[in-house]
């Protein structure tokens, strides 16, 4: 599971998120995106879940299982963050230049 939490004022809607969600859903994961009006936890923005059993299936050693989990998380992060668009949601809220 991968969760993205941020200050309540951060809104990740937009930022080409729909395209990224489509790519993630193609890999058969469960995704929950929370907008400001539907938050139970005002900090939670995005949750991606996949079956651990499916991720480590056929991996016969702890090292292979850990690598499979790492690779899955990395795959999700590349989809979400590689183009820098989603980062903008956080930068616009948090970034204050050092002077």
Tens of pLDDT along the chain (99 residues)? 888 888 777 777 776 788 888 888 877 788 888 766 665 777 888 889 999 999 999 999 999 999 999 999 999 999 998 988 888 777 766 555 555
In a domain, 42, yes or no: yes
Domain count within the chain: 1
- pTM of the entire predicted model: 0.77
Is 58 contained in some domain? yes
Residue 99 falls inside a structural domain: no
Q: What is the longest distance spanned by two Cα atoms in the chain?
A: 53
- Domain membership of residue 18 (yes or no) is yes
29, 64 in Cβ contact below 8 A? Answer: no
Helices 17-25, 62-81: inter-axial angle, 10-degree rounding: 150
Instruction: Name which of 82, 19, 4 is nearest 49 in CA terms.
Output: 4
Is residue 10 assigned to a domain?
yes
Residue range(s) defining the domain that contains residue 26: 2-94
């Amino acid at each position: 599971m991968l969760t993205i939490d941020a200050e309540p004022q951060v809104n990740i809607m937009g930022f080409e998120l729909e395209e990224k969600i489509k790519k993630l859903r193609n890999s058969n994961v469960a995704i929950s995106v929370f907008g400001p009006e539907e938050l139970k936890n005002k900090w939670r923005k995005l949750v991606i879940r996949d079956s651990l059993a499916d991720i480590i299936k056929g991996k016969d050693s702890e090292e292979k299982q850990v690598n499979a989990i790492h690779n899955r998380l990395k795959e999700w992060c590349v989809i979400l963050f590689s183009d820098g668009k989603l980062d903008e949601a956080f930068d616009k809220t948090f970034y204050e230049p050092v002077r």
